[in-house]
A = this chain, B = another copy of it.
Amino acid sequence: MDLDTVRTFVAAADAGQFQEAAAELAITQQAVSKRIAALERTLGVRLFTRTPRGAELTIDGQAFLPHARELLRAAGRAVASVLPGSRPLRVDVISSRVAPSGLMRDFHRAHPEIELDVVMLFDIEAALAAIRSGAIDASFRAVAAPGRPLPEDIASVRVLDEPLQLLTGPAHALASARSVTVAQLAGHRIWMPGLAPGTEWAAYYDDLAAGFGLTIEATGPNFGSDALLDTVADTPALATFMGGQTRLVWPAGHGLRRIPVTDPTPVYPHSLLWRRDNPHPALVTLRDHLAATATGHGAAGTWAPDWATGREGREGRVSRSRGGLRSGGSGG
């Protein structure tokens, strides 16, 4: 099915006759007639009853019309999603395993009128390059690995510290625990497939493992969360970390357990990054929304790497006081 044909159908339905629709579309009446006939042939139903004074919709045509309009609207949105000028706000959310995609869902609920496109880039380097080139408008990332300060033209604001949870199958040794301490995890195998070396994401887990003596295996490609959950559910000796605010499509009957981690609670520090001179109007709305809904970070009893908190030190930091919302470079 060709969208030009659908457009022709809608034009003919609106005009009530083929001739006028042909004029609108800058083609001949015969071409309209052929297009409609072809559409009717592919659908297997008659869409118009031809009369000497024009063409009016059959019942099937009436039923088809709103769907045809919706089809054209969808096509328009699809084209707009890649149009350079005034395209939808394009945001990188790391992965579906952590909270930013949930934050974007909240934002969409609060501002359904704002067109959004969500993408997932490889790491913060790719995200920064994409932000600087204008390919994306914003990115949720943990920022500022040591020795790699943000470029001058990129602004950031901390929006969420997401507590990690342990995800285990029903036969895991810790499956029945209501919560576990980080110290208890030492010696257990924790599997994080798809954790590519060199990414800020891998750096986080490296620091976490080094700081508390954990064993985190990053082996194997990432076949998606379904495969990961399957494996974890069936392997008693295997567990994985997952963002505490992640909403997954939960496979039924797996007996998977989500167990809070304490003493301290490792949190993943999400910041929003954007280019200061990005003029996209929806970007301001997104920042305002996040500022209004952001839960505090740096809460007592949590842990995050030093390079992400902006403080000095090698071993990561356990927060003992509750902090507020702090900008790493407001404005834009």
Interface residues of A (CB under 8 A from B): 1-4, 6, 43-45, 47, 59-60, 62-64, 66-68, 70-71, 74-75, 77-79, 81-84, 87-88, 90, 117-121, 130, 135-136
- Interchain CA distance A136-B58 in the complex, whole Å: 11
From B59, B70, B120, A119 is in contact (CB under 8 Å) with B59
Cβ 8 A contact of A90, one of B6, B63, B90: B63
B78, B83, B119: which contacts A62 (Cβ < 8 A)? B119
Taking the closest CB of chain B, its distance from the CB of A254, in whole angstroms, is 25
**Which residues of chain B are near A64, meaning CB under 8 Å?**
78, 81-82
**Closest B-chain residue to A6, C-beta based?**
B78
Complex interface: chain B residues within 8 A of A68 (CB): 78
* Minimal Cβ-Cβ distance residue in B for A70: B74
Q: Contact check, A117 vs B78: say whether CB atoms are below 8 A apart.
A: no
Residue numbers in B under 8 Å from A87 (CB-CB) = 63
Please name all residues of chain B whose beta carbon is closer than 8 Å to the beta carbon of A67 when the two chains form the complex: 74, 77-78, 81, 117
List B contacts of A136 (CB < 8 A).
59
Given A1-B4, A67-B74, 16 new contacts (CB under 8 A)? A2-B3, A43-B82, A44-B84, A45-B82, A47-B82, A59-B90, A59-B119, A62-B119, A62-B120, A63-B82, A63-B90, A64-B81, A67-B77, A70-B78, A71-B71, A71-B75
B45, B66, B77, B120: the one contacting A117 at CB < 8 Å is B66
Docked pose: A88 CA to B66 CA in angstroms: 13
Nearest residue, chain B, Cβ from A1: B3
Check A78/B71 contact, CB under 8 A, given A3-B3, A59-B119, A117-B63: yes
A39 to chain B, nearest CB (A): 10
Q: Give the chain B neighbours of A71 by CB distance below 8 A.
A: 71, 74-75, 78
- Given A1-B3, A2-B2, A2-B3, A82 contacting B70 (CB threshold 8 A): no
Q: Taking the nearest CB of chain B, how far is it from the CB of A48, in angstroms? A: 13
Which one of A3, A6, A45, A67 has the greatest number of beta carbons of chain B within 10 Å?
A67
Chain B proximity of A95: nearest CB distance (Å): 13
Residue in chain B with minimal CB distance to A57: B119
Q: A60 touching B3 by the CB < 8 A rule?
A: no
CA distance A74 to B79 in the complex (A): 15
Report which of B1, B83, B88 forms a contact with A75, defined as CB distance below 8 A. Answer: B1
Residues of B near A43 (CB, < 8 A) are 79, 82
Q: Tell me, in angstroms, the Cα distance from A64 to B115 when the chains sit together.
A: 13
For A3, list chain B residues within 8 Å (CB).
1-3
Nearest to A61 among chain B residues (CB) is B82
A63 touches B119 (CB 8 A): yes
CA distance A5 to B332 in the complex (A): 39
Q: Distance (Å) between the CB of A320 and the closest chain B CB?
A: 41
